[in-house]
Amino acid sequence: MIASVGTDLPLQVLRATGRYAGPLTWDIDRAFPLAGQWLESKFATWAFSILEDWAQGRFDALDAVVFTRSDDNAQRLYYYVCELRRRGLLRGPEPILFDVGFIGRATSAARTVASVRALASRFGVSDAAIEAELVRADAASVPAPAPAAGPACLLAGTPPPDERVSAMIAAAGFQPHGDTLEQLWARECPGVAVGTGDPCAAIGHRLHEWQPGPRGFFNRGAAVVQAARAVSAKAAVLWFVEEDEALVWHLPAQRRALAEAGIPTLALSRRSWRADDGLDAEITAFLKEVAA
């Protein structure tokens, strides 16, 4: 079986193997005695959890884990896992790094296409199997569900580990809208062209354009306003954790853009990914004020 770590991966290729088990998951509400010896403090908490599980043998049933290069935590964790395996400190699945480029030049697009081909070749997946997976995904795509009733609140910034932050928003009487990291990692690159005769190239070019992860090149101020308007948000929570070194650089621009759009915003930075630092009280107070 094969698992994955991160966004921006060609999940269609992994699914076409018939052995894809989905993204690795985490349990962050515990200690990490083994991983803590090897990882430095600025690694994301999920990286500690995954490495701890790896060291405890919880992934031993897997054959391979594909890491993305689009996230600094994921790509560094790949090198650490390789080194720990070399030193005999870890066993378990083979780590593989998927090289995805985002720079808006032909060289980066070509690199991404080559990476998709290399991954397919590594797993022995034929173009026909990948094409069949693209056709299946295209047929299975469904429109987004209609928004639930009640005022909407956009949750943006660092993707939370699970529904815990959304639950805080819901408890304050608002409909939360925002992806968890778990959802982002499981999301397949949309809109890949079918019937091109070269499915790896089709996936590679689309991945190069897609850019959902922290390394994407786009105007994140405009994007957050667009996301808020798409759900008619009455409020927004911009939430960034201590370890975030990428998305947090857009906090000033996103805050400004939301203010200009007239959307009340609670901006929080340097927070705990566990959301155990008084976040619920702050969200409740903020949304109560918005609702008043």
Partner 1 sequence: MTTPTGQRMRQTLACTAAANAYQKQFGIDLKRRVVDEGEPFAIVQADTPHEIFHVMDIPIITNQWWSAYISAKQLSGRYFEVMAEHGYPENSCKYCSLGLACTLANDPKTAPWGGLPTPTVLVARLTCDCIQHVFGQWAEAMGTEFFAMEAPAWEHKDPRWFAHSNRDWDEIYQPDRIALMVSEMRDLITLLEKRTGRRFDEAKLHHLMERINEQEGYIWEANQALAKARPCPVSIGEQMSNTMIPQWHRGSDWAVNHARRFRDEVLDRIAQGQGAADDERIRLMWIGAGVWHDPGFYQALEERMGAVFVWSMYMPFAGPQYIRELKDRPMEALASRICSMNEVLHLPPWMNGWMESEAERCGLDAAVVLLPPDNRLSQSGTRLTALSLEQAGIPVLMIDADMVDAKNWDHDRMVTLVGNFLTEKGLA
The footprint of partner 1 (CB under 8 A) covers 37-43, 69, 71-73, 75-76, 79-80, 82-84, 86, 97-99, 101, 103, 105, 107-108, 111, 114-115, 214-215, 217, 240, 242-243, 245-246, 248-253, 255-256, 267, 269-270
| Strand ranges in 85-134 using DSSP code E only, listed in sequence order | 94-98
Least distance to partner 1 from the beta carbon of 165, Å?
18
Beta strands in the chain (DSSP E): 2-5, 20-23, 64-68, 94-98, 152-157, 175-177, 233-241, 265-271
Residue 250 beta carbon to partner 1: minimum distance, rounded to whole angstroms:
7
> What Cα–Cα distance (Å) separates residue 216 from each residue in 13, 32, 85, 207, 256?
22, 30, 31, 11, 20
For residue 43, give both structure tokens. 């690694």
Smallest distance, partner 1 to C-beta of residue 138, A = 29
C-beta of residue 77 within 8 angstroms of C-beta of residue 5: yes
SS3 142: coil
Q: For partner 1, give the closer residue by CB, 70 or 175.
A: 70
> What is the nearest approach in angstroms of partner 1 to the Cβ of residue 88?
12
Q: CA torsion angle for 187, 193, 194, 196 (degrees, to 10)?
A: -140
> Residue 236 — φ and ψ, nearest 5°?
-140, 145
Give the chain's length: 292
Which of residues 134 and 241 has its CB atom nearest to partner 1 in the complex?
A: 241
Query: Least separation, in Å, of the C-beta of 99 and partner 1?
Result: 4
DSSP 8-class letter at 236: E
User: Smaller CB distance to partner 1: residue 114 or 186?
Assistant: 114
Residues 6+ apart with CB under 8 A from 226: none
* Closer residue to partner 1, CB minimum distance, 137 or 261: 261
What is the nearest approach in angstroms of partner 1 to the Cβ of residue 10?
14
Q: 69 vs 177, which CB is nearer to partner 1?
A: 69
Q: Cβ 194 to partner 1, closest distance in Å?
A: 28
Residue closer to partner 1 by CB (options 85, 136) is 85
Instruction: Tell me the torsion sign for CA atoms 181, 182, 185, 189.
Output: negative
**Count of other CB atoms within 10 angstroms of residue 223:** 16
Query: Residue 167 or 267: which CB sits closer to partner 1?
Result: 267
